[in-house]
Amino acid sequence: MSNTIWSENISSPIDSARFSDQTQAFETTRAVSFPSPTLGQLLKSVGDVSKEESGDETPIHHALDVDETSLIEPRALPFTLSFSNLTYSVKVRRKMSVSRSLSSNNRLGTASSPLPEPSPGGNATTRTKTLLNDISGEARDGEIMAVLGASGSGKSTLIDALANRISRGSLKGSITLNGEQLESKLLKVISAYVMQDDLLYPMLTVEETLMFSAEFRLPPSLSKSKKKSRVEALIDQLGLRNAAKTIIGDEGHRGVSGGERRRVSIGIDIIHDPILLFLDEPTSGLDSTSAFMVVKVLQRIAQSGSIVLMSIHQPSYRIIGLLDRMIFLSRGQTVYSGSPANIPTYFADFGHPIPENENRTEFALDLIRELEQSPGGTRRLVEFNTSWQKMRRSRRFDVASPSPGSTLKEAISASISRGKLVSGATNGSSPTSMVPTYANPFWVEMAVLAKRSFINSSRLPELMAMRFGTVMVTGFILATVFWHLDSSPRGIIERLGFLTFAMSTTYYTCADALPVFLQERYIFMRETAYNAYRRLSYCLSHALVSLPALVFLSFSFAMITFWPVGLAGGFSGFVFYFFTILASFWAGNSFVTFLSGVIPHVMLGYTIVVAILAYFLLFSGFFINRDRIPKYWIWFHYLSLVKYPYEAVLQNEFQDPAKCFVRGIQMFDNSPLASVPDAIKEKLLASMSSSLGVNITSSTCVTTGSDLLKQQGVTQLSKWGCLWVTAAWGFFFRILFYFALLLGSKNKRN
């Protein structure tokens, strides 16, 4: 009886469904039969979005012709991204309330209620939560597939799964492109992922941001003018012509609007015309007009021959008209999959027809939310979707997925010939060999990264001014406090104090390098996740960019302290003193940079940096000599970054064997006899001379520089050896920074 009623309910919309499916079949056949234009070709005939919305006649820029010799348009081959039975679960810790734990402990002899059984794959303290449960579907080039659902339904998780942002060991199911399994290396090159957050350099203009993206993603075989033309054309397509010269901006600097910022985020990832484009809620936080303009841009990207997949929270009526396929999720399960045109038929068959003049997606999401709060949840809707899809396939209501009719290699080769994947793509023997891992050699990447960093930092002069001011104020205070030290025993102690404080200051002033990478961390992760450049290139350019500022600060500090304090050695001593300070700045900057790659939080990082530098200073050899350090702590003495520059400047100061620092009666200066008259001191010297059998007068040299170095325990390395060890520490921490980036920026869920 129920089967009969159900059949009658679905028979009424058969004609409309068949008409819709025939229309889709015609459009699909047309897409296969006729080559869809590439992004570059589309730009020749399409202005920006704002022109369509407001009538703004923005000049249309000519597209970049990758192959100028090609006169015949190559035939387009379709792409189909298929995914089946995607399942992803995570283990979460159970929350144990106090009342629950107390109720499990019974009073004297009372029987306890059994504890709940752990879920499969979990235990008494953890449970398994399924984020994706048997999700299947397909997306085709020329179309936009949108994933919808309430918060926590699994929208972003599904996009991450398709974009290979979930480790293969944790994700079950299959993902294929034209029937072939997608290798991670290939997917990184032919796809792009736009995050929900707009991760951009705030002090670069829109044009500069897109131009740097072109420098990263386009091969060096393309001339500068062609890259510039491509950027200009993309600016027009994104509707950013009026904001091209405006900086991106941040909380402290006014820049472009939210909608423009989002379109820039999309633009930097489509500069190389990817085949697959994934977006995580690209309309989040935008007003309806800006959201429509963003999706309109995505439609044009899809029409250029790309597959566009995005998650979206609650699209407007106008946005629905731009979508080709939709998947509704509820707690990780599919409750609808198909064309937006079939939504009224689907819910009418389910027994909940959509009222006239009501937004179909809002109705669907409200109904799903009501079912989620009901005792049975959405299980009935999930089962209905499964049976409805099977029925439509069995009755041939849906057009069968057109077989690509070509291998993945052939389809990629055709796309390359038509101008897509211009990031150095070639015709190779396999899909992976056809597209290079990186578009440019590492020295080109280094140059572009360094240029971008210089431009961004040059527009924040207050940061460099603060660093310079800190070093100069510290140097001025030290120079005036330790003004023209003499060579008396008191002067020796004061020199030791100055040199210790000066060397430790160079490390503490490097703590400002901590937030530099922390601010760029997520930009770096986004760009390297899809092979915009190598991690090694970033590490090398990061080091090179920091050197000019370190040289300038080192020279300034050396100039303001060396001669006012009265340090020894003349010009050669000054040069060594300068290089020692530079090596200290280099080692300190590298150490802090390494910590920024390991510790993701600024305040925690500052706490750890200050604590470790204090330990380095404690074990440097100034407060306690090496011979007096307990054996179980001696290892920390050799790890101290302050030890080596401190010993280097000590040897530079006291290396002259002809210079005397303590003569005759000066040996009593740091003793209780310091206040005794000189005549009595001379008598004491005469008595000591007769006892020791050595003639000691008031002018006899008692302590030389070598004696002072031995007293301080500076006997193992020469001053140049200490200098090289200090510089080597800097290189060591840069290598550790590279491995921290290599291991800590996988950007994948487990």
Residue 384, C-beta contacts closer than 8 angstroms, at least 6 positions apart: 349, 350
Mean pLDDT of 362-366: 90
Position 43 scores a pLDDT of: 35
- Assess whether pLDDT exceeds 50 at residue 42: no
Residue 210, C-beta contacts closer than 8 angstroms, at least 6 positions apart: 231, 234, 235, 264, 267, 268, 271
Closest to 233 measured CA to CA, from 45, 70, 418, 439: 45
Range among 134-138, 644-648, 658-662, 707-711 with highest mean pLDDT value: 644-648
Within 10 angstroms of residue 710's Cβ, the number of other Cβ atoms is 11
Position 445 scores a pLDDT of: 94
> Looking at 326-340, 617-631, 654-668, which range is the least confident one?
654-668
| Amino acid sitting at position 569 | G
| Alpha carbon distance 48, 90 (integer Å) | 43
> Looking at 94-98, 148-152, 301-305, 360-364, which range is the least confident one?
94-98
| Alpha carbon distance 308, 271 (integer Å) | 15
| Amino acid sitting at position 8 | E
| Alpha carbon distance 231, 61 (integer Å) | 10
> Looking at 201-215, 252-266, 640-654, which range is the least confident one?
252-266
| Alpha carbon distance 504, 247 (integer Å) | 38
- Assess whether pLDDT exceeds 70 at residue 209: yes
Confidence category of residue 5, pLDDT binned at 50, 70, 90? very low
How many angstroms separate the first and last alpha carbons of the chain?
48
- Assess whether pLDDT exceeds 60 at residue 416: yes
Contact call for residues 273 and 39 (beta carbons, < 8 A): yes
Residue 646, C-beta contacts closer than 8 angstroms, at least 6 positions apart: 499, 500, 503, 620, 621, 622
Which stretches within 566-696 are classed as H helix? 570-598, 602-618, 634-639, 643-654, 678-692
Position 650 scores a pLDDT of: 94
334 or 11, greater pLDDT: 334
| Alpha carbon distance 158, 310 (integer Å) | 10
- Assess whether pLDDT exceeds 50 at residue 23: no
Contact call for residues 121 and 172 (beta carbons, < 8 A): no
Confidence category of residue 403, pLDDT binned at 50, 70, 90? low
| Amino acid sitting at position 557 | F
Position 430 scores a pLDDT of: 57
Question: Residue 27 is encoded by which pair of tokens?
Answer: 């459009």
Contact call for residues 722 and 714 (beta carbons, < 8 A): no
478-534 per-position pLDDT tens digit: 999 999 998 888 888 899 999 999 999 999 989 888 888 888 888 898 888 888 899
Map out the domains of the chain as residue ranges.
442-662+704-744
| Amino acid sitting at position 475 | G
Question: Residue 333 is encoded by which pair of tokens?
Answer: 């399960």
Confidence category of residue 7, pLDDT binned at 50, 70, 90? very low
- Assess whether pLDDT exceeds 90 at residue 714: no
In total, the chain counts a number of residues equal to 750
Position 51 scores a pLDDT of: 42
Confidence category of residue 435, pLDDT binned at 50, 70, 90? low
Contact call for residues 504 and 614 (beta carbons, < 8 A): no
662 phi, psi to nearest 5 deg? -135, 120
Strand partners, 84: 174
- Assess whether pLDDT exceeds 60 at residue 742: yes
| Alpha carbon distance 560, 581 (integer Å) | 13
Closest to 331 measured CA to CA, from 150, 171, 159: 150
Confidence category of residue 273, pLDDT binned at 50, 70, 90? confident
200 or 433, greater pLDDT: 200
Position 697 scores a pLDDT of: 80
- Assess whether pLDDT exceeds 90 at residue 648: yes
- Assess whether pLDDT exceeds 80 at residue 145: yes
| Alpha carbon distance 422, 424 (integer Å) | 6
- Assess whether pLDDT exceeds 90 at residue 188: no
pTM reported for the whole predicted model: 0.78
| Alpha carbon distance 541, 524 (integer Å) | 13
Closest to 341 measured CA to CA, from 317, 357, 354, 325: 325
Strand partners, 133: none
- Say whether 111 sits in a helix, a strand or coil: coil
232-263 per-position pLDDT tens digit: 989 988 889 999 999 999 888 889 998 899 89
| Alpha carbon distance 561, 542 (integer Å) | 29
Q: Is 234 left (phi over 0), alpha (psi -120 to 50) or beta?
A: alpha
Q: What percent of the chain is predicted at pLDDT more than 90?
A: 38
Contact call for residues 308 and 143 (beta carbons, < 8 A): yes
Taking only Cα atoms into account, the Rg of the chain, rounded to an integer number of angstroms, comes to: 36
Mean pLDDT of 591-596: 93
Residue 24, C-beta contacts closer than 8 angstroms, at least 6 positions apart: 339, 399
- Burial label for 647, CB within 10 Å (0-12, 13-18, 19+), is buried
Mean pLDDT, rounded, of the chain: 81
Strand partners, 83: 137, 175
- Say whether 29 sits in a helix, a strand or coil: helix
- Assess whether pLDDT exceeds 60 at residue 26: no
Question: Residue 10 is encoded by which pair of tokens?
Answer: 């679905």
Position 695 scores a pLDDT of: 80
The secondary structure of 280-303 as a DSSP string is E-TTTT--HHHHHHHHHHHHHHHH
- Assess whether pLDDT exceeds 70 at residue 298: yes
Position 31 scores a pLDDT of: 39
Strand partners, 146: 310, 326
Position 633 scores a pLDDT of: 94
| Alpha carbon distance 61, 338 (integer Å) | 37
> Looking at 349-358, 442-451, 637-646, which range is the least confident one?
349-358
Mean pLDDT of 11-25: 40
300-314 per-position pLDDT tens digit: 889 888 899 999 988
- Burial label for 580, CB within 10 Å (0-12, 13-18, 19+), is buried
Q: HSE-up of 278 (CA within 13 Å, CB side)?
A: 23
Confidence category of residue 727, pLDDT binned at 50, 70, 90? very high
Q: How far is CA 582 from the centre of its chain?
A: 29
Residue 355, C-beta contacts closer than 8 angstroms, at least 6 positions apart: 363
Question: Residue 404 is encoded by which pair of tokens?
Answer: 């690509």
Range among 340-354, 402-416, 649-663, 695-709 with highest mean pLDDT value: 340-354
Q: Any idea what the Cα angle at residue 325 is, between residues 79 and 307, rounded to 5°?
A: 30
316 or 720, greater pLDDT: 720
| Alpha carbon distance 291, 258 (integer Å) | 10
Range among 21-25, 295-299, 355-359 with highest mean pLDDT value: 295-299
Q: How far is CA 487 from the centre of its chain?
A: 53
Mean pLDDT of 586-594: 95
Q: Is the sign of the CA dihedral 65, 67, 72, 74 positive or negative?
A: negative
Report the side by side order of strands in the sheet with 307-311. 191-194, 276-280, 307-311, 144-148, 325-330, 333-338
96-108 per-position pLDDT tens digit: 554 444 444 444 4
Contact call for residues 522 and 430 (beta carbons, < 8 A): no
